[in-house]
């Protein structure tokens, strides 16, 4: 862009800004401004009022020392103060030559840039403004606890809020978490308008607990309960998920009042029930593996993600047992018969292939009794027929005499 066009552009933008009414700003107020001029150490801004805004050029320099913005670009800035008819702004203190305004940053909630110099007792030694020392506790370095904080943060340039400013700047405490929480709150408000139950979301595993895994979905954390990680039973979550892993999940339940979002990972995976529905039916026989034993029975895996239950009353081969472990052990192969299937609740009732239920026993006993009675009647009939024949023969002999 040549000098003439630059001057023309500046003139147009400045003329436009000069026609606007005076805008009153409070120290620390964040606004979006337009760059209308570049001159030496200053960047001139249209801030929506008659007074021009001034930003230190160093705040828009990249790592190579080159200016990373141009006339017409928009930038988010914080108002510091008015001086000499000009309004002084900053993007974040400490990144340029605004170290002298650290107290103003503390009073007005303006972010400061700092270098995480080293890990010390209770937290980190932070350098802000190029030479000013500050302290950040471990709990204020981020939203989530990390296993090796020293390796995670040391040497990084980060943005902080000053939470304590004492002894004329000799005792400064900062927090990165406070800024992150502010940003998450803004993101949360946007998510409340877009998220709904049944929707698919993408996120990153931010924390793993025994009961489930938390997922950062961009402003809020959702929980994948251990029961929703896979169709098969999950014992150790860390065998399936890792910190920082990107995942896709389905929103099962939204409760903004309680700030709870329940997610499901297994809903994004193929449902094994759809594959076995026609194969696992009532009366069918299958080879399975004992998955786990409980006081009320044994769960047997018939296919990946498909478990059925053998009630304890059907174990023991006719004798009463107190726990399934008396006759079975986890990992044991067993042949079972399907006694019932409920596809809606996804429950399967099983019995050992050699199991004989009480109803079967009663039926067998009744059949044996009927057979016994039938045999007795037959014997009596034969005896009766035999006795009648003998009597007739005796009468016949007497007549011949």
- Per residue in 303-349, pLDDT (tens digit) is 888 899 999 999 988 788 999 999 999 999 999 999 999 888 889 99
Same domain, 8 and 47: yes
Q: How high is the mean pLDDT of the chain?
A: 82
Please report which helix (H) or strand (E) contains residue 17, including its range. Answer: helix 3-18
In this structure, is residue 188 part of a structural domain?
no
Same domain, 278 and 333: yes
Instruction: List the one residue out of 316, 325, 281, 323 whose CA is nearest residue 302.
Output: 281
Tell me what pLDDT residue 188 has.
81
CATH code of the domain covering residue 59: 2.40.50.140
Burial per residue of 132-145, b for 16 or more beta-carbon CB atoms within 10 angstroms, e otherwise: bebbbeeebbbeee
Same domain, 15 and 78: yes
Q: Provide the residue range defining the domain that includes 168.
A: 109-180
Tell me what pLDDT residue 17 has.
47
- Per residue in 175-215, pLDDT (tens digit) is 999 988 888 888 888 888 888 899 999 999 988 999 999 99
Alpha carbon 385 to chain centroid, angstroms: 86
- Per residue in 64-116, pLDDT (tens digit) is 778 888 889 999 888 887 877 778 888 876 554 445 578 878 887 888 888 99
Task: Label residue 390 by pLDDT band (50, 70, 90).
Answer: low
Question: What average pLDDT does the segment 149-163 reach?
Answer: 92
Q: Which residues contact 184 (CB under 8 A, 6 or more apart)?
A: 143, 219, 220
In this structure, is residue 45 part of a structural domain?
yes
Decide if pLDDT at 282 tops 50.
yes
Same domain, 254 and 286: no
Same domain, 81 and 160: no
Tell me what pLDDT residue 389 has.
61
Decide if pLDDT at 13 tops 60.
no
In this structure, is residue 369 part of a structural domain?
no
Same domain, 173 and 205: no
Which of 180, 211, 229 lies at the terminal end of a domain, its last residue? 180
Q: Which residues pair with 248 in a beta bridge?
A: 202
Of the segments 8-17, 45-54, 117-126, which one has the largest average pLDDT value?
117-126
Single pTM value for the model: 0.52
Decide if pLDDT at 362 tops 60.
no
Q: Which residue has the tokens 């026989």?
A: 285
In this structure, is residue 368 part of a structural domain?
no
In this structure, is residue 366 part of a structural domain?
no
DSSP one-letter code for 22: P
Which of 180, 207, 242 lies at the terminal end of a domain, its last residue? 180
In this structure, is residue 365 part of a structural domain?
no
Q: What is the DSSP string of 249-263?
A: EEEEEEETTTTEEEE
Same domain, 259 and 283: no
Q: Which residues contact 108 (CB under 8 A, 6 or more apart)?
A: 26, 27, 28, 78, 80
Decide if pLDDT at 300 tops 80.
yes
Can you tell me the distance from the alpha carbon of 271 to that of 262, in angstroms, rounded to the nearest whole number?
19
Cβ burial, residue 380 (10 Å; 0-12/13-18/19+): exposed
- Indicate the length of the chain as a whole number: 401
In this structure, is residue 122 part of a structural domain?
yes
Task: Detail the DSSP E strand segments found in 221-375.
Answer: 221-225, 246-255, 260-264, 285-294, 297-303, 306-311, 333-342, 347-352
Residue pair 200/250 in contact by the 8 Å Cβ criterion = yes
In this structure, is residue 230 part of a structural domain?
yes
Tell me what pLDDT residue 154 has.
94
Decide if pLDDT at 396 tops 70.
no
Same domain, 139 and 151: yes
Q: What is the DSSP string of 40-54?
A: TTEEEEE-SSSSPEE
Decide if pLDDT at 365 tops 70.
no
Tell me what pLDDT residue 276 has.
83
Same domain, 264 and 294: no
Which of 155, 180, 205 lies at the terminal end of a domain, its last residue? 180
Q: What is the DSSP string of 130-180?
A: TTEEEEEEGGGS-SS--S-HHHHHTT-EEEEEEEEEEGGGTEEEEESHHHH
Q: Structurally, how many domains does the chain consist of?
A: 4
Decide if pLDDT at 217 tops 50.
yes
Same domain, 162 and 227: no
């Amino acid at each position: 862009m040549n000098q003439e066009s630059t001057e023309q552009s500046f003139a147009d933008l400045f003329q436009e800004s000069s026609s606007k009414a005076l805008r009153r700003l409070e120290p620390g107020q964040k606004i979006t401004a337009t760059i209308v001029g570049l001159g030496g150490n200053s960047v001139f801004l249209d801030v929506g009022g008659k007074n021009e805004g001034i930003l230190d050029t160093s705040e828009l320099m990249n790592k190579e020392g080159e200016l990373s913005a141009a006339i017409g670009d928009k930038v988010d800035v914080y108002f510091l103060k008015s001086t000499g008819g000009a309004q002084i702004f900053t993007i974040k203190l400490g990144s340029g030559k605004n170290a002298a305004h650290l107290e103003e940053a503390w009073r007005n909630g303006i972010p400061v840039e700092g270098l995480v110099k080293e890990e010390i007792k209770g937290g980190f030694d932070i350098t802000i403004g190029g030479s000013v020392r500050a302290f950040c506790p471990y709990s204020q370095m981020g939203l989530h606890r990390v296993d090796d904080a020293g390796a995670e943060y040391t040497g990084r340039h980060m943005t902080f809020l000053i939470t304590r400013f004492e002894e004329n700047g000799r005792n400064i405490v900062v927090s990165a978490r406070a800024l992150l929480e502010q940003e998450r709150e803004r993101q949360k408000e946007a998510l409340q308008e877009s998220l709904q139950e049944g929707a698919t979301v993408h996120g990153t595993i931010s924390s793993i607990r025994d009961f489930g895994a938390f997922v950062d979905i961009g402003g809020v954390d959702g929980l994948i309960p251990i029961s929703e990680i896979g169709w098969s039973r999950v014992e150790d979550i860390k065998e399936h998920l890792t910190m920082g892993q990107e995942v896709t999940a389905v929103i099962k339940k939204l409760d903004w009042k309680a700030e709870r979002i329940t997610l499901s990972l297994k809903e994004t995976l193929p449902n094994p029930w759809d594959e076995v529905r026609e194969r696992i039916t009532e009366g069918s026989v299958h080879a399975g593996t004992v998955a786990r034993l409980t006081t009320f029975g044994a769960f047997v895996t018939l296919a990946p993600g498909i478990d059925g239950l053998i009630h304890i009353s059907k174990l023991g081969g006719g004798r009463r047992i107190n726990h399934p472990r008396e006759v079975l052990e986890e990992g044991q192969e067993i042949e079972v018969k399907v006694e019932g299937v409920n596809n809606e609740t996804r429950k399967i009732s099983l019995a050992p292939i050699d199991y004989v239920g009480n109803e079967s026993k009663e039926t067998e006993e009744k059949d044996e009794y009927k057979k016994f009675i039938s045999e007795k009647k037959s014997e009596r009939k034969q005896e009766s027929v035999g006795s009648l024949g003998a009597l007739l023969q005796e009468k016949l002999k007497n007549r011949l005499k």
